[in-house]
Structure 1
Amino acid sequence: MTDANHTGDDAHPIVRVSGLGVELGGATILDDVNLSVDRGSFVGLIGPNGAGKTTLLRALNGALSPSRGTVDVAGERIHALSSKAASRLVATVPQDTTLTFDFDVRQAVRMGRTPHRSRFGGWREEDERAVERALDRTQTAGFADRSVGDLSGGERQRVLIARALAQETPVLLLDEPTASLDINHQVRTLELVRELVSSGKTAVAAIHDLNLAAHYCDELVLLSAGTVVATGPPEAVLTEETLEGAFGANAVVARHPVTGSVYVTALPERSTADGDSQGRVHVVGGGGTAARHLYLLSAAGYEVSVGALNEGDTDTETARSLGLDAVTVDPFSAVDDEAEAAVESRVADADCVVVADVEVGAGNLANLRAAANADHVVLVEERPFAARNYAGAAGERLYERLRERGVAVSPSDVLAAVSDRVGRRASGPRDSDPDDSDSRDSRPESLPSE
């Protein structure tokens, strides 16, 4: 946010939108939009399709004249400026990465210098320096002589960002910069924008992926039906209430266990009446590995238990905050016989057991031993078990037993896998394991007793 005690240009928002309205073809696209963007910040425009994100970007760069209201950039009324003057303040990276002509990369980037050149002026040394800086900053210098048409989507995106950088504007606008890119190029693109902002550039981007927006943006502007629904830091904007109102989505909002960023997961509509349980699920976790799954499963309508966990563990605190049934032991203590019996009881009552990507040692081996007696198991695998196994051969044998009885999935597939396993439980014992009904009455001989 702007520091009220700061003096000079930095004390004022570089972009200020007041009462903006845009009508196209007799339809109102934007209505009474008000927002400000601080210098050196990364602001994400989010919202459902048709919310007006692209239209707002076009109004910010002067391409669209408003029906009412104003847009000021760096103290200038953007729509009162000539096209060249506006392009010296705002550079735009379009969603479509195709170019009309088959330029090589260097030629494409040189087009960014157009706003700074007079009609009869030649190519200057300062123009060349700006182009070289843009190529270096975007790591496109290595293929500067290649045709843009021969590049991958991610490479073309970097070329367009380089072209925008060559404009040397204080404000950079990006329309869905991660659209149609694989996850690797999505991250590389937003990392680049984040670096540019850290060096003083101001960026405003329409971003469809809420989790990427939450991770990279300083502030978010949530649009719905052409109006601003919420503005502020990601944790203030991305709430379950605002998302339901804007997207009509049943979603759960949590903190990502690794990045710490706000993390949004859309849930399917519940198939049972309000207050009815979808089924019972027991979760084995620890060290924060189960927190997200606890949020999701609880929000999806399952009756969830978890443990055994140490008091003070992140997963313990998450379970308590959600009002879940948690089996606990003292801090830094191993799972004792009493706790193991409590876990076995909950596993016996569960329709499905979820084993998080937890590190396993002698102290919590009992959790895996109890889970291995479950009829239906979902293993969450982000890391190979060998990388998180500190229990030696005993841990390996138990994990293999779990693999035989269950299914291994990535974190994003947990809800679907649980739904499938609970459905199987409801329809009776699995065809492939006709003797599973006796598995809780006696511990399999192959399981270690230690």
Structure 2
Amino acid sequence: MPYGRSDVPLTDAATPVVYDVTRLVTRGLNPSPNGIDRVDFALARHFLAKGATPLVCTALGPRLSDTQKALATLEAIEAYWREAADADEDGVYHSVVAALAGEGAGPDAIRLDRKPGFERVSRNWRALRDWAFHLGRSISEAPNGAVYFNATQFLLDRQWYVRWLEARPDVKPVAFIHDLLPVDHPEFFRPIEATLHPRRNRNIARMAAGVVSASRAVAERFAAFATENGRADIPDCVAPLPVSPVFETPSASPEALRGRDYFIVCGTIEPRKNHLLLLNVWRELAKGGPAPKLIVVGKRGWLNENVVDMMTRCPSLRASVIEAGGLSTPGLRRLMAGARALLMPSFGEGFGLPVAEALAAGVPVIASDLDVFRELGGDAPDFLDPLDGLGWLQAVRDYRGPDSPRRAATLARMKASTIKSDPSDFFETIDRFVATIAARAN
């Protein structure tokens, strides 16, 4: 069952919702989703399945559209991402297994990308073109008293885009706040984000009737930001993200990988994810003989020249690091089953979905000692400082082999943990919050 599918509508159908699909319909050409894509997709399907009105920014500006048209686009995107497919249908997965088993084409095969068929690419190009020039209906036709839900903050930094909300004070905006990292750590992002992210969050602080966050840490940070910007009264809702049911389904390690040591790091390749630390760890490991394999799952993002140069030009890494862009979720789940651990050395996160996925799959996690990870995983993960290179080097050494005491201790903590994820809780929590916001007097 794909990520976030809800077979039973949970929100009161009487609550009018306008759901912004603008960012989502632009993601149909990306071979695999990132964390924000997954959240947006799950919420879009949830709200649209019970009749929410889709809003999309076209060449004519914000326009309302047809619910069935938006749902059809979601189905096309899901098929493109192959979220519901079997791992056996994923060419990237098979290439990773071959490389791990020593059957690949050698170091030159380090970067493994999914190359989707022409038919699927063509279909999504057509959908993107159709949305860009979609006439739709005037934004003035939005239902009276509706809740406008934006799960990505996309375009909320543009004054021309939010002008329709200023003209419709009866419509109650609700935004999903994923993090304020570009505000607090602009050095990890493109320079333009240092301007855009504060601006979009100031607009949210000024206009929002409510905000949703995946963690209490982010909710508290946004509350402080909103207070600094003159709004100390914004209702908030904390709804921890659910993981795809595929991660909670038992999965055996590929037979070809039995007894092989490998680790996984999952996330967009960008400075905040701290891939550079792991590459230096792996370069050090290679000095003592054959190193375990490191699978780097995620697309290339921004400001990553040092990481890409190391992966592609360092001889000792070319033999042990596999960059797997476009890996499907089922493929990731099956690879996780045989991994020694998921590594998450991030400098900052708003939630950390790969950590939740690994914990749900019963895979040990070695992660940065961040408040959000402790909120998510309790004491189960093995926590390290993201600057402690020697500590990460020792942890990887300790987790190697089938009889690792340190790995066994982490598994024991995971088994004893009472922190669980239930997808229905996520939707029910947001539904209750949206209904409460809708019921508030203007």
Which structure features the higher share of strand residues? Answer: 1
Task: Give the TM interval when normalised to the shorter protein.
Answer: under 0.3
- What TM-score comes out, normalization by structure 1 length? 0.27
By relative contact order (CA 8 Å, sep 6+), the higher-ranking structure is: 2
TM-score (norm 2): 0.27
